[in-house]
Structure 1
Amino acid sequence: MRIIHTSDWHLGQHFYGKSRAPEHQQFLNWLIEQSKSQQIDAIIVAGDIFDTGTPPSYAREMYFDFIAKLHQTHCQLVVLAGNHDSVAMLTESQKILQQLSTRVISAVSNNMAEQVFVLNSLKTEQQAVICAIPFIRPRDIVKSYAGQSANEKQRSLQQAITEHYQVLFEQAQGLSQLNQADGTRLPIIATGHLTTIGASTSESVRDIYIGTLEAFPASEFPAADYIALGHIHRPQKVTKSEHIRYSGSPIALSFDEANTQKSIVIAEFKNGDLSNTALCNVPCFQPLAMVKTHLETLAEDIASVVESKSITLKSEDSNIAESLSTESLSTESSSVEAKITHDERPGQEKIWLDIEIESAEYLQDLSVRIEQIVKALPVEVLLVRRSKKSRQQMPSHEKKVTLSELSVQEVFDTRMALEPWDSDEQQQRKTRLNSLYLTIAEQTQLANSSKQSLLEHSEAHTSSTSKTEQK
């Protein structure tokens, strides 16, 4: 049996005013082609299908269209909710999508059958048992009590998550044996959407257990044959284990991910065991680049980064797509990562730039300077800011940092840094403020997404009315 492990699509993301819809559509088309060419039995999406709990209408349409097209290939789909996803929104289409070979697990359930079930191969043979665990919200598995310290809450949540995994794993072990008449067992695949200790994160990864559990120890996972994780956007093994992996996001979701090769994981199981894993590189559909520069070398550094990025993209275009044959994933006892590249990138796109200036001076004409430099280059500048170090070095009477140079998180962190956090009582207050900030940030993001959805609906209605009047 072969599965594709992917995660963190973030459909509907707006990136400094830019829509990611073209990139996401190309990725989904590419993913369907991979499922066909690689003879994939099931695709597991380990959380954060959408960027917000109220995604724009085009993102939902993209999601449903993908499911309908994938169903025609006879490949199963398992969708796990992430911390960005709305439980209610994913749940509302659960039953109808089950008719299209898609299992949606939106939240922790008291019904074991909703989270532990058998996956079939393309030939409808029972091939694996899955412990389908979505993002675990603390309120779903643990009760808080007045007077608990931050450390007590952390231990309580970690223990509850560990117990939840163990209970489902024991149920899966029973199914693993019961469904095999010949006495062999089915492999067990577990999922998760959380941060593990030691995972390498990026700017776009949001803390999900602020004030309670920063990271989950990998040693607490059950002994599943493969553990498909989401939430971290850089592809990586956990504790150097072949069978515990983050697939990473399919597109760069922040500028600090610009140089990260995006990928999906293809895992193959034989005779009840994981026989191999391989990374399959996702084409770059929209190039991004960071330029860290000084005023004196601004033009040269921008030109150098653009040239370097263009060479990389041309190199990608010249690569010959390699097939992932059955033989390449079959008999080796130790897993060898197959790095597979594809030349399915569309025509040359303008490179999106983030320009970070090392300068303590306040320059009103900086944007004009940059505009003159890049006007003849195949780039679009999305962000211009001074480095954090430069902002800190400015004399206090000259500090004129604009909000466009700061993220919301940086504004909050700057304000928090002004407070003393010495006593236990102050630490508890800090925890409460962190949790409150996270709640408000999520609510604001939901409100902005709702506003965007209403705007798109209004524009679509206006366009439809206009066409009717013309007729």
Structure 2
Amino acid sequence: MLNNQSQFSQPLKVLHTSDWHLGRRLYGRARYEEFSKFLAWLLETIIRENIDVLIVAGDIFDTMTPSNQAQTLYFEFLGKVSKSCCQHVVIVAGNHDSPSFLDAPKQVLKFLDVHVIGTACDNPSDEVITLWASDGAPQAIIAAVPYLRDRDVRQNRTGQSFDEKDANVIAGICQHYDLVAAEAKYQQSQLKQDFSAHVPIIATGHLFAAGGSTTEDDGVRNLYVGNLGKISADMFDDCFDYVALGHLHVPQLVGGRDHIRYSGSPIAMGFGEARQRKRLILVEFGQDGLTMTPIFVPRFQKLAQIRGDLTQIRAEIADFAAQNEPIWLEVVYSGDALVSDLREQVTQMIQGTTCEVLKIKNPKSYHYALKQDYEFETLQDLDESEVFERCLEAHQITGDQKIELRSAYDNLMALMTEQDRFAD
């Protein structure tokens, strides 16, 4: 896709990625081998495509307290990429990341031309980074905005309605981006005077755009209580030549704008993403304008979701077994008959194959179990919200009280995900 609105005096190749979620598990299964293979492939891609700038738009890690193995993958990759053709790496925090953990080594990483913004800055100029080429010419201005936490954007007032809180959050996000855009435009005008060059402005963000697509089990959270803080493409200033977004795992445009994009996650985060073709976005600035090209990511661990009755499940498992390559499966039984020994039957089906079943869902059995105090259901089958709903049912909570308790629960969950254990 081509955008001829701007003429850029210096060619520049930027690779946009996000949502690595290093350390993430799938139904308890560690995935470090996958992450390691992805990062090795990413380094090869950077070298093959002669990338100048790598942008990681948040959720580098899956939790605020990443494991030693996840940290090792991160720092080893940064060390290797700093020795490659890539002149700069720009990293902003996502909602899964600890801002203070990412920020802690930022001064050291600067010497490797790795620029990290973990915490939203009080001074907008601190989020505006000018990238310089080795010959001293300006390459790009990065409006490096991280995930804006609730405390960064909301001014709480007592007695506010839900809609007023929603408007307050959106206004706070817009104001933050407006201040950063103003600083970026000022720096661009200064560079125009000093170098007679039009330097592109690239913005980052980790947020939930209105109308964005998600999948059932991708782990994407509402960033604020309820559905607050969903923004539109109109929020971004026209000065941004490209907006590199993170948070949503499905690659997509925002508001139909070619230059405002989610790259999506490079690895399927759940079986609902198994059929997605994962990608990164190669963004090229040149004298002919702006072009964006997808670079498709190989599958480093094959996943598949099987859904149907016993006959369909057996047939699909046989098909995957015939391919004779390792595959992780999620089996969802959707037949009419009640099958109480589904797990045993599926285990028998995969014996002697390269198939491994990580999850079996049997809704028929669950519905029967509801009358038996959930006899056949395990805690692994539920997420935290479903456990809370079970508690409401068990205590026969209904009406307004149920709504109030849900709201209080959502608030508590939001506060828990905001806590940064690495902060002082």
Which range, TM-score by smaller chain? 0.7 to 0.9
The residue aligned with 2:7 is none
Does 1:190 find its partner at 2:206? no
Cα distance in 2 between the residues matched to 1:366 and 1:428: 38
The residue aligned with 2:295 is 280
Aligned runs of 1:324-339 on 2, under 5 Å?
none
| Offset, 1:146 | 2.1
Does 1:266 find its partner at 2:282? yes
SS at match of 1:14: coil
Which residue among 371, 375, 381 is the counterpart of 1:396?
371
The residue aligned with 1:243 is 259
Q: 1:131 to 1:209 in 2, by over 3 A?
A: same
SS at match of 1:192: strand
Which residue among 54, 68, 81 is the counterpart of 2:79?
68
The residue aligned with 2:139 is 127
Unaligned runs of 5+ in 1: 311-347, 448-471
Which residue among 338, 358, 371 is the counterpart of 1:382?
358
Does 1:57 find its partner at 2:73? no
Does 1:167 find its partner at 2:182? no
2:355 partner letter: V
Which residue among 341, 348, 357 is the counterpart of 1:365?
341
Q: 1:435 to 1:399 in 2, by over 3 A?
A: same
Native 8 Å contact 1:421 1:430 kept in 2:
no
SS at match of 2:260: strand
| Offset, 1:439 | 3.9
Q: Comparing 242-251 with 290-299, which one deviates more in the overlay?
A: 290-299
TM-score by length of 1: 0.79
Unaligned runs of 5+ in 2: 1-11
2:154 partner letter: V
Q: Comparing 112-121 with 64-73, which one deviates more in the overlay?
A: 112-121
Q: Comparing 30-39 with 182-191, which one deviates more in the overlay?
A: 182-191
RMSD: 2.6
* Deviation string, structure 1 residues 393-442 (Cα, Å, up to 9, x no partner): 777358534123323333234555764455xx975553222121344578
Does 1:147 find its partner at 2:159? yes
| Offset, 1:274 | 4.7
2:250 partner letter: R
| Offset, 1:119 | 1.9
The residue aligned with 2:190 is 178
2:260 partner letter: I
TM-score by length of 2: 0.87
Identity between Structure 1 and Structure 2 (%): 35
1:195 partner letter: F
Cα distance in 1 between the residues matched to 2:301 and 2:21: 15
Cα distance in 1 between the residues matched to 2:253 and 2:101: 31
Cα distance in 1 between the residues matched to 2:373 and 2:124: 61
Cα distance in 2 between the residues matched to 1:446 and 1:350: 37
* Deviation string, structure 1 residues 275-298 (Cα, Å, up to 9, x no partner): 200000011000000011213443
Q: 1:421 to 1:93 in 2, by over 3 A?
A: farther
Matched residues, number: 403
Aligned runs of 1:107-122 on 2, under 5 Å?
107-121=119-133
Which residue among 294, 315, 319 is the counterpart of 1:300?
315
Native 8 Å contact 1:187 1:274 kept in 2:
no
2:342 partner letter: L
Cα distance in 2 between the residues matched to 1:306 and 1:176: 57
